[in-house]
Amino acid sequence: MNGDAASVDVPVNGQGSSAEPAEWPSVTVVTPTLGDRSDLLEQALRAVKDQDYPGRVDCIVVLDKRSGDIRHAAGHESGWEDTRKVAASAGARILVNDRTPGLAGTRNTGIMAASGELVANCDDDDYWLPGKLHAQVTALLAEPAAAVACCGIAVEYGGEVFDRVHAAPVVVLRDLLRDRLMALHVSTFVSRRAALLDGVGLVNEELPGSRNEDYEFLLRATRFGPVVNVPRPGVHVRWHTQRQAMYGRWPMVAKAQPWLLEKYPEFRTVPAGYARIAGQAAFAFAACGDRAQTFRWVGKTLRANPWERRAYLALGVAMKVVDADSVVRWLHRRGRGL
């Protein structure tokens, strides 16, 4: 199914209600960027503007200060003129990340500046499909205990598009411990801003390199309450090599996955979920050339789940039978991640 043609037109939620409110909550869309792909940013902002949502929607584009193009002189930022022009044309505000460098700080800069009752995410290389916002807000309003709404995605990689949709209308913590649920992509998130300021919390800036900041956020959100989900593609997501400049590579993965297991002891209650994260750590250490840590984490993985394939892939990388990046590219061609 081609993501360009898809749309989200029927709201689905835990209570089965599709009643519309008398007044729709305002929404602020936060888009992080390094300022180096204004053409994609333009498409992302245009897709937000084209939504049929009845309430007020505004956009904030947040430039991550890690970018080498950002230079401050007499109060003027240079080197990102195209990004500024695209944002201005779309009526979006531009801010510079004044928090921790990386995606977490960049997202939080936007959240703190948001004026909407709801905060939505859209990365600069993704774009929303028609009907996305209307359906998700309907689902969120129908479940007062939920702070976050997600939806499915259409993943583009290598000229092909794969739909990734989680079928359940409600997601709880155990679901996410067992599986990352890649369909619940950060560009689908719509959150109650009040819960981000007091309850769920902001995006965690302690994560090494902001790696998996979206997954950690979802884990926390399901500690707070259920996450509602519209089981249809609502966002077109591009997987390409440029994303790595923002998301970090193997050294960050090798730090972030053990951190996640330490901060979320609940993984111990779901052995297959623990093995999944431990296997990712093993694979990352193998990609970094650290064989001692690779074997250590392979052991942790297999003790939790002898059938976890990431452990065997890590051994293959460590023994130079396969190349780490080649494995990831192979997975991406099938619409999957590590």
Q: What is the pLDDT of residues 195-216, one digit of tens each?
A: 999 999 999 999 887 888 999 9
Would strands 76-78 and 71-73 be described as parallel, antiparallel, or unpaired?
A: antiparallel
256 & 149 share domain: no
Q: Are residues 82 and 56 in the same domain?
A: yes
Out of 63-67, 78-82, 99-103, 134-138, the most confident range is 134-138
302-311: pLDDT as tens digits: 999 999 999 9
Residue among 337, 333, 17 at smallest CA distance from 156: 333
Q: Mean pLDDT, to the nearest integer, of 57-65? A: 93
- So what's the pLDDT on residue 157? 82
Does residue 5 lie in a domain region? no
pLDDT at 73: 34
Nearest CA to 184 out of 144, 151, 223 is that of 151
Q: Are residues 239 and 256 in the same domain?
A: no
Q: With 70 as the cut, is the pLDDT of residue 77 above it?
A: no
Over residues 255-264, mean pLDDT: 94
The enclosing H or E element of 78 equals strand 76-78
From CA 38, how far away is CA 68, in angstroms rounded? 16
Residue 18 identity: S
Residue 84: is its pLDDT beyond 70? yes
Domain count within the chain: 2
Task: Identify whether 71 is part of a domain.
Answer: yes
Give CA 258 to chain center in angstroms: 19
**Of the candidates 211, 245, 279, which is a domain's last residue?**
245
What pLDDT sits at residue 51?
98
Of 222, 245, 268, the position where a domain reaches its end is 245
Domain boundary pick from 230, 245, 260: 245
Domain of 284, in residue numbers: 249-332
Q: Does residue 17 lie in a domain region? A: no
From residue 151, give the alpha-carbon distance in Å to each of 154, 166, 317: 10, 8, 34
Mean pLDDT within 230-242: 84
Q: Measured between alpha carbons, how far is residue 42 from residues 45, 47, 84, 109, 146 in Å? A: 5, 9, 11, 21, 31
Max mean pLDDT among 15-24, 66-75, 170-179 falls in 170-179
What is the percent of the chain with per-residue pLDDT over 90, rounded to a whole number? 72
Tens of pLDDT, residues 86-138: 999 999 999 999 999 989 999 999 999 999 999 999 999 999 999 999 999 99
Strands 160-164 vs 148-157: parallel, antiparallel or unpaired: antiparallel
The pair phi, psi for residue 199, each rounded to 5°, is: 145, -95
